[in-house]
Structure 1
Amino acid sequence: MTTTVRILGAAALALLLSACASQIDAGLSSGPDVPGFWWGLWHGFIFPWSWIGSLFSDDIAVYAVPNTGGWYDFGFFLGITVLGGGSFFGSKKRNN
């Protein structure tokens, strides 16, 4: 197979799988006490510790529900990738 066919196949598979993703309406809310972008950023940053804690306690969650939706998700993503070091560790040059 050529590289172009593999890339197109992977893109088509990713598009097909992402079309199935949805969030139930009960998980979305609005108001001053509902987590938004800044809480999503914080929750993304502390994700590794929250995940470990959630293995031992049912009172600890890694993702807030209900939340404001897209802005919370965007903050969560930035918290995991940027603040959590995801992009830093992924960009390190490997010396073999």
Structure 2
Amino acid sequence: MTELLWYGLIINERTVVNMKKKYFLLALLLLVLVFSLTGCVPGDGANNEEHLAGFFWGIWHGWIAPISLIIGIFKDNIRIYEINNIGWWYDLGFYIAVISGFGGLSLSRRRKK
């Protein structure tokens, strides 16, 4: 078995194969994540005047708002906010998700002394 010393780490063929598997699985996981997140974006036609988006749709759309914004650059019908919603409850869910997703990041940081 061929071994290579790289920055103090011993790397052999088995390590390289394991690294390739990990990168492949990571790429596959990211691909599945992207497809699952983009499956229910606002404006995709799932909600209309007969079937309005509610509280839980508001939470979901708030969580995927950054992804919806990026997709909206390329597709005109995709927005970060569903127009066909039930009103106040959808707004509450949307804002809870946006605040917890973005504002929660700053709350988790430790203060330096």
Q: Which has the larger radius of gyration?
A: 2
Secondary structure at 1:66's aligned position in 2?
Answer: coil
Q: Displacement of 1:34 after TM fit?
A: 0.3
Q: What one-letter code is carried by the residue in structure 1 that aligns with 2:105?
A: F
Change (3 A) 1:52 1:88: same
List runs of 5+ in structure 1 lacking aligned partners: 1-28
Identity of aligned residues (%): 37
TM-score, normalisation: structure 2: 0.50
Q: Displacement of 1:67 after TM fit?
A: 1.0
**2:77 pairs with one of 45, 48, 59:** 59
Decide which structure has greater strand share: 2
Mapping 1:63-74, distance limit 5 Å = 63-74=81-92
Work out the number of aligned pairs and report it: 65
TM-score, normalisation: structure 1: 0.58
User: Whose relative contact order is higher, 1 or 2, with alpha carbons under 8 Å and at least 6 apart?
Assistant: 1
**4+ residue segments displaced more than 6 Å:** none
C-alpha separation between the residues in 2 aligned to 1:37 and 1:54?
22
Q: What does residue 11 of structure 1 align with?
A: none
Task: Give the stretch that moved more between structures: 58-67 or 43-52.
Answer: 58-67
